[in-house]
Amino acid sequence: MIHSNNIDETKRKVRKLKALEKKIRFGSETRTGVSLVWDSFFDLHDPPVSTARYTLSILALMDREDYKRIVDEYFANVYYEYYKENGIVHTATYDPSVLAQLELPFSAEMHDVKKRFRELAMIYHPDKGGDSARFIDLMKIYEKLIGK
């Protein structure tokens, strides 16, 4: 059972992340109609009302290291959105959500992407007995990452 103090503390921490994202991405402006990265990561409702990755009950049970890893991934996504919105995405910066589809960390570099692509291509290639639909999806993901 989760202690209510832990739930309240978790809510406060996660709400601060939302406020920080707004400050990073929009400064002092107020924007409506713009989706936040926060919305795809966190759902603080009980029961959950969205398809966010992390619900309140999951977050409240996490240890410090797991929570830190999630916050790091979250901010990688926030800054990626900020850079994209401001036209400053560097060619070596990859969309963290696309990297996640390859089960790669947000900090993956090109050699990591290529290595993982080769591993998955061997598994899903139709000539090797793999699923052709998954292979086609894999090719689309890879092309997004390498910019073709």
Residues 116 and 62 in one domain: no
Residue 128 has pLDDT above 60, yes or no: yes
pLDDT at position 1, please?
Answer: 44
Residue 9 has pLDDT above 80, yes or no: yes
Residues 58 and 16 in one domain: yes
pLDDT at position 107, please?
Answer: 81
- CA–CA separation, 148 vs 145, rounded Å? 8
Residues 69 and 113 in one domain: no
Residue 73: how many CA atoms within 13 Å on its side-chain side?
21
105 band by pLDDT with thresholds 50, 70 and 90: confident
Residues 73 and 100 in one domain: no
- CA–CA separation, 71 vs 12, rounded Å? 14
- CA–CA separation, 69 vs 135, rounded Å? 29
Residues 20 and 79 in one domain: yes
91 band by pLDDT with thresholds 50, 70 and 90: low
**Total number of domains constituting the chain:** 2
Residues 104 and 75 in one domain: no
Q: Which domain holds residue 23?
A: 4-85
Question: Does some domain include residue 90?
Answer: no
Mean pLDDT of the chain: 86
pLDDT at position 7, please?
Answer: 86
What is the mean pLDDT of the segment spanning 75-85? Answer: 88
Residue 119: how many CA atoms within 13 Å on its side-chain side?
9
User: What's the predicted TM-score (pTM) here?
Assistant: 0.69
Residue 147: how many CA atoms within 13 Å on its side-chain side?
7
Residues 48 and 102 in one domain: no
